[in-house]
Amino acid sequence: MMAFLTSKAWPMSWWSRKQEPVDMTVDRAAIAGQPLFSLFNKLAMMPHGPEGYAIQIIGARPGAGASTIARALAEFAAVNVDGPVLLVDADPFDREQVRLSEIPLPNSLHDAQQGLVSLDDALRPLGTADLMLAALTQPIARRADGNVTWSLSISAMGEIVGQLRQRFRWIIFDSAPPQNLAFAHVLSRFVNGTVIVVEAERTRLPVVQQLIHQIRANGGKPVGLVINKRRLLISEFIYRFL
């Protein structure tokens, strides 16, 4: 189960206790149901221009379930949005979306941005013609020393998002958690908003607060918090700050 919390201003106290979270299941049977529509509708109602609407989904920690939510949201948007939808696997380490779809992606959006291939060469249909899958970059192997060599610059990242906005109505980025990719939050400055996924009973509050700070410091806009994998109630540590 998950709950979605959001606020226009997102004050330091996060959300008013008066605002009730929206309960949502994220199993495959719920894709066409009311719960996922609540998340989709809250995001769709955010102000945005005529260009494509970009949303980043990022887990506060590994295993929070961000990839499941990103995939379900993309599939739901594909049948409810007037225009094509793109799901971007933005985790160069695990590439969860690529692995689960079992669709080979030899080319990446970064390859297309560099002029090595066309944008079409970096896209693959995902179930229907209205939903496409792409990888942001080529995969990166984990190094024993913990260092990461990633050739995607901040300016190139902005160019990629801008190009995708011209072609797709919705673009959903499934980002790596900050523990796996320290600069994953940089993408937040180029999207309309970032949704943070929290594993309710295992994520410490300072981890969430730090991620919110990183997103804001990079010019991003946190627009909601998904409380995922809760068994009965939202964890007390969240409600202490509502």
Among 34-38, 97-101, 154-158, 233-237, the range of highest mean pLDDT: 154-158
Q: Show the DSSP H helices in the chain as ranges.
A: 34-44, 66-78, 96-101, 109-113, 154-167, 205-217, 236-239
* Of 77, 54, 69, residue with least CA distance to 225: 69
The predicted pLDDT at position 235 comes to 44
Q: Examine the pLDDT at 8 and tell me if it is beyond 50.
A: no
Residue 174: pLDDT band with limits 50, 70, 90 = very high
Q: Which amino acid is at 195?
A: V
Cα gap 22→95, rounded to integer Å: 29
Report residue 239 as tokens: 């409600």
The predicted pLDDT at position 144 comes to 64
The predicted pLDDT at position 146 comes to 59
Buried b (16+ CB within 10 A) or exposed e, 20-37: ebbebebeeeebeeebbb
Cα gap 197→181, rounded to integer Å: 16
Over range 9-29, report the average pLDDT. 36
The predicted pLDDT at position 234 comes to 43
Pairing mode, strands 53-59 and 193-199:
parallel
* Of 159, 192, 203, residue with least CA distance to 66: 203
Residue 165: pLDDT band with limits 50, 70, 90 = very high
The predicted pLDDT at position 35 comes to 57
- pTM for this model (two decimals): 0.79
Over range 84-97, report the average pLDDT. 90
- Phi/psi at 187 (nearest 5 deg)? -60, -25
The predicted pLDDT at position 12 comes to 34
The predicted pLDDT at position 231 comes to 44
Mean pLDDT is lowest, of 9-18, 92-101, 164-173, 183-192, for 9-18
Residue 203: pLDDT band with limits 50, 70, 90 = low
Over range 44-57, report the average pLDDT. 84
Q: Write down all domains in the chain, each with its CATH number in brackets.
A: 2-143+152-239 (3.40.50.300)
